[in-house]
Amino acid sequence: MIPVAGFEGRRVMVLGLGRSGLATARALEVGGARALCWDDSPEARAKAEAAGLTLHDPARADAWEQVAALVVSPGIPHLYPEPNKWIARAMEAGVPVDNDIGLFFRSLGSTDWHMHDQPPRVIAVTGSNGKSTTSALIHHVLTECGRPSQLAGNIGRGVLDIDPPADGGVVVLELSSYQTELARALTPDVAVFTNLTPDHLDRHGGMGGYFAAKRRLFAEGGPDRAVIGVDEPEGRFLANQMAEGPTDDRLIRVSVDRKLTGPGWLVFARKDFLTEWRKGRQVASLDLRDIKGLPGTHNHQNACAAYAAVRGLGLSPKDIEAAFHTFAGLPHRSQLVAERGGVRFVNDSKATNADSAAKALQAFGRIRWIVGGLGKEGGIASLAPHFDRVAKAYLIGHSAREFALQLGETPHEICETMEAAVARAAAEAEPGETVLLAPAAASFDQYPDFEKRGEDFVAHVAALP
């Protein structure tokens, strides 16, 4: 655990008692603060009380007296689509608002670090799509290369629940916009920006607010090295802001759209090869075709970002390539779960929006597509250029009929449930085809989260006769 520093003997309110909230409360107590805990859910409060934590109702008249800070769980909106009432109360009382990521960065360094031969490092990854795979791949490469590494944040363990990093250790953080938007300290050694596509716009008040939340990772603390995907205008803008000039190698530009040129540090993927250029010359090239854990262009972008991040720490291209070959991929992200009679079954339940579903559709050939759920703005209309890859779509969930209209002449069938969709797709699939779960929608109409949706897909595939 990382003890929270700076609040010894003071009262700190913790709002939201999920995984990160409970870890935050414990880390505050270990650091000498008094954690005052609250959640609107009675079940969450009971769990915290059973763990020995102190409950503190923010509705009490004296609730905010002598409170040094309010620490908010990432899932709680603080400004858009409307201010949370308790966060608004804290702001009225002049109580600083932070989250566990901010506490982590202000508390990470310890007095014994001067004894380390190599001080610990933090690599933080953000972006719209691919940040989980990129973070996991970085962690995997570091581990395979003998560097002690921990994976935390929006993936793996809660950020304050990790062990204090050892000599030469690396903490790899996946950070969502919900986490970067509020943290009062953001000081990674290496910051990674994968890409930007519309998502969570109600939470951030539009695309500009969403980008601003991501940009804070780079603007607040100034990382020693920035790895930035430049395939969108926002990425190019951010890269321009971070670099002092064309040869500034504190910035590594990443692309899968085109060959990058210039005197800077560049990593790009073209025709299934990852290439690194530096100071106007090629220094490495990796063949991505046989790396089963990284199929498709979207995973090649993840590979480029991960490669650049660990190259920034001094790992060799040869060692990175070897580690890539042992990466199995993440559950629910282009995960090959079975091959039956020449048909592949792929679980990409994490494809919760149209852009990530587009990347999944581009990764495979002739597809039996299981799609649907709680649709987002625009549905699947933007995916029309990829419908020629779809042999047939099998529609599930709340938005099944809306998506059916958007499919037009593409063969489709409304199945409603995952069980029915898997059964129909498997029965009709021919050798060489892929049954792909890429919902392009949220899961909350039928499942508590995308993981449960993916697990249901896997279970029904396993149960096929």
Q: Is 297 annotated as a binding residue?
A: no
For residue 253, give the H/E element and its range.
strand 251-255
Q: What is the pLDDT of residue 355?
A: 87
* Strand intervals (E) in 5-86: 11-15, 34-38, 54-55, 67-72
Domain boundaries, the chain: 11-98, 110-325, 335-462
Q: Is 130 annotated as a binding residue?
A: yes
User: Quick one: which of 436, 423, 421 has its CA closest to 336?
Assistant: 436
Could you tell me the two tokens for 395?
A: 């529609």
335-462 folds as Protein-Tyrosine Phosphatase; Chain A (3.90.190)
Q: What is the pLDDT of residue 186?
A: 94
Residues composing the chain = 465
- The yes or no reply on domain 11-98 and CATH 3.40.50.720 is yes
User: Quick one: which of 115, 339, 135, 306 has its CA closest to 227?
Assistant: 306
- Residue 122 phi, psi (nearest 5): -125, 125
pLDDT along the chain (465 residues), means of 10: 95 94 95 96 94 94 95 91 92 95 90 78 94 95 96 90 92 96 95 91 92 94 94 97 93 96 96 95 94 88 97 96 92 90 95 91 94 95 97 98 97 98 98 97 94 97 96
Helices (H), 31-109: 42-50, 85-92, 100-107
- Collapsing DSSP to helix, strand or coil, 263 comes out as coil
SS3 content of the chain, % helix, strand, coil (to 5): 35, 25, 40
- Collapsing DSSP to helix, strand or coil, 82 comes out as coil
Q: What is the pLDDT of residue 348?
A: 94
Q: Is 352 annotated as a binding residue?
A: no
- Pairing type for strands 374-375 and 441-442 reads antiparallel
Q: Are 125 and 131 in contact (CB under 8 A)?
A: yes
What distance in Å separates the CA atoms of residue 5 and residue 236, rounded to the nearest whole number?
A: 36
110-325 folds as UDP-N-acetylmuramoyl-L-alanine:D-glutamate ligase (3.40.1190)
Could you tell me the two tokens for 455?
A: 């697990």
Q: What is the DSSP string of 150-174?
A: EEEESSSB-TTSSPPP-TT-EEEEE
Could you tell me the two tokens for 66?
A: 């002598």
What distance in Å separates the CA atoms of residue 261 and residue 459, rounded to the nearest whole number?
A: 47
- Collapsing DSSP to helix, strand or coil, 199 comes out as coil
CA 456 to chain centre: 22
Q: Is 127 annotated as a binding residue?
A: yes
Q: Is 47 annotated as a binding residue?
A: no
Q: What is the pLDDT of residue 110?
A: 66
Burial of residue 201 (CB within 10 Å: 0-12, 13-18, 19+) is middle
Q: Is 107 annotated as a binding residue?
A: no
Could you tell me the two tokens for 95?
A: 């109580």
Q: Are 124 and 104 in contact (CB under 8 A)?
A: no
What distance in Å separates the CA atoms of residue 204 and residue 202, rounded to the nearest whole number?
A: 6
Q: Is 133 annotated as a binding residue?
A: yes
Q: What is the pLDDT of residue 43?
A: 94
CB atoms within 10 A of CB 43: 9
CB atoms within 10 A of CB 352: 25
